[in-house]
Chains A and B, each alone.
Chain A
Amino acid sequence: MTIDASPDISQGHPPLASSASNMGSLRCLAVHAVMVLLSILSIFPIYWMIVTSLRPENEIFSTAFWPASPTLENYVFVLTRIPMLQMLANTTIVAAATAALQVVTGLFAAYALVRWRMRLSGVIHGLIALSWLVPFQVTMIPNYVLASRLGLLDTLTGLILPNASHAFAVLLLYHAMRSFPTEILEAARIDGARSWKILWQIVTPNMGAPIASLSIIAFISAWNEYFWPLLLSRKPENSVVQIGLQMFMTQEGNLWGPLMAAAALASLPILLIYLILQRHVIESFMKSGIR
């Protein structure tokens, strides 16, 4: 991610220098214009959500960029109307558990594939990778039937379990682990260290960065997950915040102030994580492509 080697147009072409630098400053302006436009496009809808959520009822249709008399009444309305805090707590549990389980199952599977060269390694690797391509909508009916047979409808366990392992997690950790020097593993094995000990005391401590990346991505994806909760959830108090939002919209779709307050509350944790860990979040997503 170093772009400092930006080739300077004017350098090395003295005769063109003056015209080039003129063009350069114009171009520079245009470059900033493009990026400012893209930034506004990206951030304005979120800004507008926050502004609307702070408007009192009589100001809701105002087009001013800041409310004349900001108020938190919309937030109070949401918190008293739907079990928002309960749903936020549920979502936190689901997202944290999903991320933790994906890290653990991913570490195990990646470790098995890296340390033991088995005849079936290639097949297993392929099976894990290909599962990524199976659209969830295709398997949803059998999944739903299984979940209802196991009594997982309307439970948090039911939301966590199918996502406890993901091809993406295994592959990410597999690639990170593959670059781990095999001499160290070999040496530890010769010293008589057991695979369990090698995994936890030698491999895992060196997997800090990929584990952090995976946790960030898995947590955010689980937080934003909509489809599976939509199938599984019955009561709002047993569900996650995305479903709560959707239910609230269906019932009170035109109460724009409270709706925006609910949307803001649902995004707040993710936006906070982003504010604190910005660089890590961006890099995690970029290194791993689109999930």
Chain B
Amino acid sequence: MTDIQADLARPLATAQTPAKTRRQRETFTVAPWAYLAPALILLFVWTYIPLVEAFQLSFYQWNMLPTAPQRYVGLKNYERLMALPEMRNALWNTLYYILGLFPMSVIIPLFVAIWTQDLTGRARMIYRGLIFVPMIVAPVVAAILWRWLLNEDQGLITLWLEQMGLGRIGFLTDPNYALATLTWITGWKLIGFSTLLFSAANAGINPSYIEAARIDGASRWGIIRDIRLPLLSPTILLLSMMTILFGAQWSFAYINVLTNGGPLKSTTNIFYLLWEYGFQTMSAGWSSAAGMIAFAGFAVVAAGCMWLTRRFAVYDN
């Protein structure tokens, strides 16, 4: 509410004519900060200060009870984590989630968008309206829907598979399948949306390039490879970056609702491990240390992605 106060103060300031110029300069420096205050205060209180606190906590041992003391342990938390097979397992699983998402968040949508570019009119609008829907479905709802469809006893897909003579698959209970199932659910929410993003970018390509290439005798595939893909590269890189940076985070709700990281830790990724250390085993130090490792890792990856985007994205201008 500081901005309201600042603004209320201003009429008084301008009323005093002799000091006007000096006052004006003064308000000119205060006003922007007053406007920035709500966003910046919230940001610092809920993101940046906690980030620093988490960094500090990663050198302590603490069981999260307000009365319990925090004991300084130096780098012990990091050393233990590095030695833990759990941590390595979670990091590998994080990688699997991200790689498993790529076909659904980038590759298939890209080719579907190019393949269906000639669609027009009403049909296009209907498909658009339908394939977007998973994007706005709540993760918990998505988890429950797929839990029902894939249920080992009576799920529709299980029954279909059985009718086809493929037997029953423990989609969520078999350690060989659970991670793939959760990746699929995460990807289900994205596939239509990514397709729409690619379609929009693809439709924005200047048709005269395509025309010119065709006159030069370029093949259909040649046009895709030499014109469409390069001009779609900003979207490809954007979606890839989103998948890499946020893919593992998106899967958190599914892990928590459907498998709790099991069976046999096969679906635990780094973000789920953070939550487990923090709120199940109550070891704030471990959770924070693992969080710092993840944050540093993803920050490096983010910087790399941005560099790639600047280096390789082709813009039409």
Contacts and interface: CB of A to CB of B under 8 A. Distances in A.
Given A116-B32, A138-B295, A38 B112 contact: yes
Interface in B185-234: 188, 190-193, 195-197, 199-200, 203, 207, 210-211, 214
Given A38-B195, A112-B36, A142-B49, A133 B207 contact: no
Contacts of A267: 137-138, 141
Interface string A134-175: 111111111101101000000000000110110100100000
A224 B154 CA distance: 28
Contact of A139 (B51, B134, B151, B242): B51
A19 interface: no
A27 to B, nearest CB: 8
B119 interface: yes
B46 interface: yes
**Which of A63, A128, A267 gathers most chain B CB within 10 Å?**
A267
A223 B136 CA distance: 10
B15 interface: no
B114 to A, nearest CB: 11
A66 interface: no
B100 interface: no
B176 to A, nearest CB: 23
A271 B136 CA distance: 8
A87 to B, nearest CB: 12
**Which of B119, B190, B256 gathers most chain A CB within 10 Å?**
B119
A278 B136 CA distance: 11
A227 B138 contact: no
Contacts, number: 281
A133 B298 contact: yes
Contact of B191 (A4, A38, A111): A38
A245 B43 contact: no
A165 B275 contact: no
Interface string A89-117: 00000000000000011101101110110
Nearest to B112: A34
Interface in B101-158: 112, 115-120, 123-124, 126-142, 144-149, 151, 154, 156
B72 interface: no
**Which of A49, A52, A112, A128 gathers most chain B CB within 10 Å?**
A112
Contacts of A176: none
Given A6-B120, A31-B115, A46 B249 contact: no
Given A1-B200, A49-B145, A112-B35, A31 B119 contact: yes
B144 A104 contact: no
B133 A134 contact: no
A124 B253 contact: no
Contacts of A289: 197, 238, 242
A135 B290 CA distance: 12
Interface string A120-138: 0000100110010111111
Contact of A138 (B10, B36, B200, B291): B291
B62 to A, nearest CB: 9
Interface in A55-88: 60-61, 63
Contacts of A124: 36, 40
Given A230-B256, A249-B144, A109 B47 contact: no
Contacts of A162: 42, 46
A266 interface: yes
Given A133-B299, A196-B3, A282-B129, 9 more contacts: A34-B112, A38-B127, A39-B130, A135-B295, A143-B50, A162-B46, A242-B139, A246-B140, A263-B141
Interface of B: 3, 7, 10-11, 28, 31-33, 35-40, 42-43, 45-51, 53-54, 57, 64, 66, 112, 115-120, 123-124, 126-142, 144-149, 151, 154, 156, 159, 188, 190-193, 195-197, 199-200, 203, 207, 210-211, 214, 238-239, 242, 245-246, 249, 252-253, 256-257, 271, 274-275, 278-279, 284, 287-288, 291-292, 294-295, 298-299, 302
6 contacts: A43-B130, A49-B148, A112-B31, A131-B48, A138-B54, A231-B279
